[in-house]
Amino acid sequence: VDLDSILNLDEIEQVATKNISKKAWAYYYSASDDLQSKSFNNAVYRQILLRPRMFVDCTSCDTSTSFIGNKVDLPIYVSPAAMARLAHPDGEWGIAHACERFGAMQIISQNASMTPEQIVADAKDRQVFGWQLYVQQERAKSEAMLARMKKLPAIKFICLTLDAPVPGKREDDERSKNIGANLPVRAAVQDESVSKTSTDAKTPSKPKSMGMGQSLFWGTAADLTWKTTLPWLAQHTDLPIVLKGIQTHEDAYLASLHAPQVKAIILSNHGGRALDTAPPAVHTLLEIRKYCPEVFDKIEVWIDGGIKRGTDVVKALCLGAKAVGVGRAALFGLGAGGKEGVARVLEILKAETETCMRLLGVQRVDQLGLHHINTRAVERD
Ligand code: FNR
């Protein structure tokens, strides 16, 4: 396929769907139960209207910004998503390559199909990565992984995912559990960190036939708490912490009490893959604005889920998000054309974001605000 002929993210998804295996498609596309949260995620952006201003010079347009002190060229980043090599052999390294070209940040999933060392192998000095952690029942495994991150200066923070102590019920993924995959369903980081640590005799052995999501979550701890987990983490990393999967203003507020160890929260419902009918992140963002706006002064608020257009990115920024993540779009980009496909995704999103900013009458990201949007349709309560 001529990637330049692909004009938007829906077309990228269509091309990828033709290219990748049925099992990979089911794993990437799937969300929990009835896919309600997944569909709200995108629909909510359609409900928000833009308020363009006239007679503003928009010859220049600058999309650069910073995430917890790290300079980036795009307010858009790649969310942590597992098993990228199911889409293309370039895998997470290919995503890193594309991000480098656009000065975009990438968060590496603990369940990546390549090791973090492989993914950051060609990283340039200016490149920004985070590493995402699912705390393991056997804490020693997580501690070994955190020790490895200390040796990788490209990794600027630890992103602790909270919204999936157990995986959601993803039926497309379950249905494809008996289709053979061309890769072992196993996170690359685990193979190396874990081989020398003992296997807990109390952990029941993993059933042979499971959906990809169920299988990757095997061994994840379900006993994390505000009181115990952050102090444990502080003993094993000096990196800033980003908490992913916050879905209420109450939890956003609690997270802000943990500044400066916690530097940012990611409002996310895991792309609709954890609790179905959980709110789209935009609702959580609006709640925070209403009930505890001081959160924005203490920590950065990032957001992901359902981003398909530059106008979606701009609306999230107007609402106060500092960073906007894309999950499936990067995986489908890989499926459509390896690292060049991911680069095309970022190119499309960057161009759409610039066009939107220009047509709104804005030259810089920090000029975007509530005055550029009308959120009446999402604030009926
Ligand atoms: C994810 N997501 C995810 N999140 C995380 O913290 N760790 C992970 O390993 C994964 N793995 C993963 C795999 C796949 C295939 C998908 C689609 C998603 C969630 C991800 O970080 C992000 O929250 C959502 O993907 C954002 O929604 P969109 O952009 O996919 O709509």
Greatest alpha-carbon pair distance for the chain in Å reads 70
pLDDT at 199: 47
pLDDT higher than threshold 50 for residue 53: yes
Q: Among the options 88, 97, 236, 270, which is catalytic?
A: 270
Q: Each residue of 18-52: pLDDT tens digit?
A: 999 999 999 999 999 999 999 999 999 999 999 99
pLDDT one-digit tens code per residue, 295-326: 999 999 999 999 999 999 999 999 999 999 99
**Ligand 1 contacts CB of residue 328 (under 6 A):** yes
**pLDDT surpassing 70 at residue 202:** no
If we measure between CA atoms, which residue out of 162, 128, 172 comes closest to residue 38? 172
Q: What is the pLDDT of residues 73-119, one digit of tens each?
A: 999 999 999 999 999 999 999 999 999 999 999 999 999 999 999 99
Q: Which of 77, 155, 159 minimizes the C-alpha distance to 323?
A: 77
Is residue 191 scored above 90 in pLDDT? no
* pLDDT score of 217: 84
User: Ligand 1: does its nearest atom lie under 6 Å from the Cβ of 80?
Assistant: yes
Signed CA dihedral, 256, 128, 30, 168: sign only: negative
Mean pLDDT score across all residues of the chain: 94
Separation between Cα atoms, residue 157 and residue 238, nearest integer Å = 9
What is the Å distance from ligand 1's center to 274 Cα?
10
Write down the catalytic residue from 163, 173, 276, 312: 163
Ligand 1 centre and the CA of 60: distance in Å? 33
pLDDT surpassing 50 at residue 195: no
Look at residue 187 in the predicted model and tell me its pLDDT: 84
Task: Select from 135, 328, 349 the residue to mutate for testing ligand 1; criterion: most ligand atoms less than 8 Å from CB.
Answer: 328
Ligand 1 centroid–CA 201 distance in Å is 31
